[in-house]
Structures are given as structure tokens and as C-alpha cells.
Amino acid sequence: MQKVHRMPVQNQFMTSYMETKGGKMMPILSYIQAVTQAMKEEMERDEKVFVLGEDVGVRGGVFRATEGLYEQFGESRVIDTPLAESAIAGVGIGAAMYGMRPVAEMQFADFILPAVNQIISEAAKMRYRSNNDWTCPITIRAPYGGGVHGALYHSQSIEAIFANQPGLKIVMPSSPYDVKGLLKAAIRDEDPVLFLEHKRAYRSIKEEVPDTDYTLPIGKADIKREGSDITIITYGLCVQWAIQAAEKLASEGIDVHILDLRTIYPLDQEAIKQAASKTGKVLLITEDNKEGSIIGEVAAIISEHCLFDLDAPVKRLAGPDVPAMPYAPPLEKEFMINQDKIEAAIRDLAEF
């Protein structure tokens, strides 16, 4: 299946089509359209699947992720909730324990914090503390990340808060194709999955997505680009910046290998070891604050297992250690990862 990265187009809400090699029409979906399509298909497939969240019903979600679902499935399966994240998570967890398949939406990942107790203390521990008698098949979706002038409370990367809770899975896809396959897998998973969507990617990233039913394995990283000089390991929107930087540097003879983690908890250790050992020069990228981020854990895995293949110190490119994404555009730009920053970091490693 050929994956194509597209620049944003004007008519973002319409599904467009393009001709493929085989002559078969394959729809081009944006990242958020892939989210909607995955939920729609799962709700059609399994009547136990339902969505709940703030403004997900008539409004179709503030980002339009649930657009059309209320009309198609009705108010009993597309439930508007009060502004109470703890309740959204708690209701979902209870329903899941009763055999339902809830897809709970946090309007912004920044607002998930009131629900932390429900997610970590209840959902993540359910199977373990009941000795396998109970499971909690809930999917919690939340848009994260900056670069949309969202300022302090609409730009955070919150994955590190949840990323040492065995029992909880965290999926952070980088492309529409991965979104559809992974969200469907998350909904079908018997255990709680935190599904984090980059809000900047929602309408800026588009690619061909088959309208067939498919899932992608949770817990498996994906090689987005084969290369032999530098290994980049990252996830989410940063994967897209990395691909663009790699394509540009390929013309200068720097061959970049890109591993997309896709699931950031638990990590795909084998894939990380293989990717790091392949070139011996590793660049880890995250939009999160540098200290205590996921990529620190990735670096630890590499240093534990790959010492004798390393040819350079493991390099981290991340957000600065300041409390939040600033509102001022120049400061927001400084905080965000971009293609230029990645290019400079790759060059530095390549020269080493």
C-alpha cells in the first residue's frame, strides 16, 4: 500500500480521490477524517461501540471528529456529556466493565488531568487487581500538541504522565493510514488504550487510506523510511517533519532511517534496538519537554542494549524545559519542532 504525504489543501472537509497505479480509486483522507471513519466503521460493525464526550453529539465535536455519527447512530450511541472529564472517563470505564466498547473523547488532552485517577488507578489496574476476572476495553481519545496558537491550555503533550503505567497502552499515530488501523485496533482491544491525536496533524496531513476494514498492531513500531547514515526515532507529528527533513537531506547524500514508534507505551524494544544498531547514530525527537519525556526511555533502552553498535552519543531533540507552550507566535515557533531544527540535528550527527 503506497502512502503519500500531501500538503494541506483548501477544501479540507471534503473527501477527495486520486488515481492509483492499479487504476482503482483510493480516497485521500485527512488525519481527522481517518479518525471519524475508524469510529464509524467500528460502530457499524459492533453495536456495543459508542462514543461519549463534550460536544461530540449534535455539534460533531469541536474538531469535527465525530461529525455525522450523531445523525447516523443517534443520541444513545453518541452521548454529549457535562464538562467533567473525570466523569467521562469514569462512565466509560464502568460501561467497559459491563461489556460495552466506549470511545471517550477528551476535548483537549490538556483537560485529561481531572480524569487521571480514573484512568491510572481504575482502568489501568482493572485486569491485574481482579486476577483476570474483569477487563476494561475503553478507548480514550485526546487531541494533544501545539503549533495551532492554542497557548498554555490547548497545546500540551501529556503522554509522559501516563507512560509508566503497566496495564495502559498509549498510541500516538503519525499518519491517516495509521490512525484508521490503530484506532480500530484500540477499540477492539480488551484493555484500556489512550489514543492521542496531534491536533496540528488533523487537517495538515493527508494520504490515501483504503476504505476497507483493516487494523494495525498496537505495540509495534513502523519503519517509515529506510536509511543507512542516521537513525531517527520519533512519533506523532514529528514523524512528518522528520520525513520532510530526510527527503531534503537525501539529495546531499545523507541517508536517514526513520522509525515511527506508533505505540509509545509499552515501547517496541526490538524495533528500537534494530533501528539504533543499524546506523549507530541516533536522533530522538519529541515535541514534549525534553527532561522526563518518552525519548529519554528510548535512549535508556538503546544504551542498555546497543553500546557496541553506537558510533555517536544518542542525541535528543525536544521542546525546552519551560512550563508550557507560549502564546506569542515567535516563542511558540521556538518551542515547536520543525523541519529546520531536525535538519540541523541530522547534519550535526552526520558530521560527527
Partner 1 sequence: MVLENIKMPQLGESVTEGTISNWLVQPGDHVNKYDPIAEVLTDKVNAEVPSSFTGIIKEIIAEEDETIAVGELMCTIETEQKEEVRSTDQFDNKTIEKDSAQSVELDQTDMKKRYSPAVLRLAQENDIDLSEVKGNGRAGRITRKDIEKVIADKGSGLETAPKPATKPKKPTNTIEAQNGDKEIPVTGIRKAIASNMVRSTTEIPHAWMMIEVDVTNLVKYRNAEKDLFKETEGYNLSYFAFFLNAIAKALKKFPELNSSWAGDKIIQHKDINLSIAVAHGKELFVPVIKNVDEKSIKGIAKEIAQLSQKARNGSLTQEDMKGGTFTVNNTGSFGSVQSMGVINYPQAAIIQVESIVKRPVIIDDMFAARDMVNLCLSLDHRVLDGVISGQFMSHIKEILENISGDTTPIY
Residues acting as catalytic residues: 154
- Comparing CB distances to partner 1, the nearer of 80 and 334 is 334
The piece of 34-42, 191-199, 203-211, 337-345 that touches partner 1 (CB under 8 A) is 337-345
The piece of 13-21, 89-97, 235-243, 309-317 that touches partner 1 (CB under 8 A) is 309-317
The piece of 6-14, 96-104, 241-249, 277-285 that touches partner 1 (CB under 8 A) is 277-285
Told to check if 329 binds partner 1 by CB under 8 A, we report no
Least separation, in Å, of the C-beta of 199 and partner 1?
Answer: 24
Tell me the H-state helices in 229-338: 237-250, 269-279, 294-305, 329-335
- Comparing CB distances to partner 1, the nearer of 19 and 351 is 351
Told to check if 291 binds partner 1 by CB under 8 A, we report no
Strand-by-strand arrangement of the 206-208 sheet: 16-19, 25-30, 206-208
- Comparing CB distances to partner 1, the nearer of 200 and 281 is 281
Least separation, in Å, of the C-beta of 308 and partner 1?
Answer: 4
DSSP 308: G
Distance CA 102, CA 237 (A): 26
Least separation, in Å, of the C-beta of 326 and partner 1?
Answer: 14
Q: Which of 46, 270, 304, 311 binds partner 1 (CB under 8 A)?
A: 311
3-state secondary structure 91-138: HHHHHHHCCCEEEEECCCHHHHHHHHHHHHHHHCCHHHHCCCCCCCCC
User: Pairing between strand 222-225 and 230-234?
Assistant: unpaired
Question: Restricting to residues 222-241, which ones interact with partner 1 according to CB under 8 A?
Answer: 229
Distance CA 150, CA 304 (A): 38
249: left (phi over 0), alpha (psi -120 to 50) or beta: alpha
CA angle 89, 170, 1 (to 5 degrees): 120
Which chain residues interact with partner 1 by CB under 8 A?
229, 279-281, 307-312, 334, 340-341, 343-344, 348, 351-352
